[in-house]
Structure 1
Amino acid sequence: MSGRRRTGEEVSLGLLGEMMVGVLPGDLAFTVFVPSEAAFESILKLRATDSLVEDKINNTYAVLSRVMGFSAVPQHLSSAAVPFNGEISLYSVSGFRLHAWRSSDGTLLVNNVSSERVDLRKDEIIVHVMRGVLMDAEFEQSFSPDYED
């Protein structure tokens, strides 16, 4: 896959991404780092086709809400505002610390997760689609293949 960033509103966030962004008020300044559809599926084991059925919907909303807490920042942050030769530290709405920078090819990286698409707009919300999921180690452990209850 190319590391180039794509911008614009013409690309859908996918159903799960749209659900995530949809819980935020559209008239306030937020930036959200939304997992790509591939990241939802490979990391979080969520697919819109089967994660939204009646017996799974509550669990899906719980996971999306938790990911939103790690991924939403209560301010605007366009990719152009992130320096090439430096790093911006931010706190998500849950207090999770995020470190953002841009690689030499312009790719936005947040906590070592690279962007797939950047600077999408949903009302006042800036959305960056990421190739992974921003989450703390404890939450990540619950999605580990060798995790047991």
Structure 2
Amino acid sequence: MRRGLPEVPSGKDAVRSQQTAKVGRFSENRHLVGTFGEMMVEMLPQDLAFTVFVPSEKAFGRDLRLNVKESFVAENINNTYAIVSRVLGFSAVPRALTSDMVPVGKEISHDSLSGFTLYISKAVYGKIIVNGVRSESLDRRKGEIVVHIMDGVVMDADFKQSVQPDYDEGR
């Protein structure tokens, strides 16, 4: 049996598939997680413990220039999946890590799936901070997966540079 990436729908089918994806107990949090965040979580096995620091829908647009209307059209779908899966590699750790497991004022570190080191701390007001990115919502769950929604994208410097807008485009 060949294992690999699932078949990716394109065009209108891609948007429809993302809108109707099964999300189980997670469905009540869909408005918080957003389409790209849900896509990230769906890439992980649901029966194993992971923690994912998912960028908010606003952060996907602001930091990665992804939006649902344009990112799922046929000519952009492969790039969208590549970006989202790359972000998943930077922002997921292979263990459950709820906010109450992070001590206030003390930094802990974990390696992400890609080997990128995540420095995690909790501020006095309860927000988790991962590599300088502050959380918006904490401790959402889908099966064994713990999801923290972030106001930014956790990524390494090389990837950040590759997705930054080119300010010389208009010249």
Same fold (TM over 0.5): yes
Give unmatched runs, 5+ long, in structure 1.
1-8
Matches of 1:27 and 1:11, distance apart in 2: 19
1:19 to 15, 19, 39: 39
| 1:67-146 equivalent positions in 2, closer than 5 A | 67-146=87-166
**What's the offset of the Cα at 1:104?**
1.1
SS at match of 1:95: coil
The RMSD of aligned alpha carbons is: 1.7
Matches of 2:112 and 2:167, distance apart in 1: 26
**What's the offset of the Cα at 1:147?**
6.8
**What's the offset of the Cα at 1:100?**
0.5
The two structures have a TM-score, normalised by structure 2, of 0.79
What is the letter of the counterpart of residue 29 of structure 2? V
> Which gives a bigger RCO, structure 1 or 2 (Cα 8 Å, sep 6+)?
1
| Aligned counterpart, 1:5 | none
Moved over 4 A (4+): none
What is the letter of the counterpart of residue 125 of structure 1? I
Matches of 1:36 and 1:102, distance apart in 2: 19
Q: Deviations over 1:85-125 (max 9, x none)?
A: 21111000100000101111111100110000110001110
2:82 is the counterpart of 1:62 = yes
What is the aligned length? 142
The higher radius of gyration belongs to 2
SS at match of 1:94: coil
| Aligned counterpart, 2:5 | none
Determine what percentage of the aligned residue pairs are the same residue: 56
Contact map agreement 1:141 1:147 (CA 8 A) in 2: no
Contact map agreement 1:29 1:124 (CA 8 A) in 2: yes
SS at match of 2:120: strand
Contact map agreement 2:64 2:164 (CA 8 A) in 1: no
Give unmatched runs, 5+ long, in structure 2.
1-25
Q: Deviations over 1:44-98 (max 9, x none)?
A: 0001121011110000000011101001100010011001021111000100000
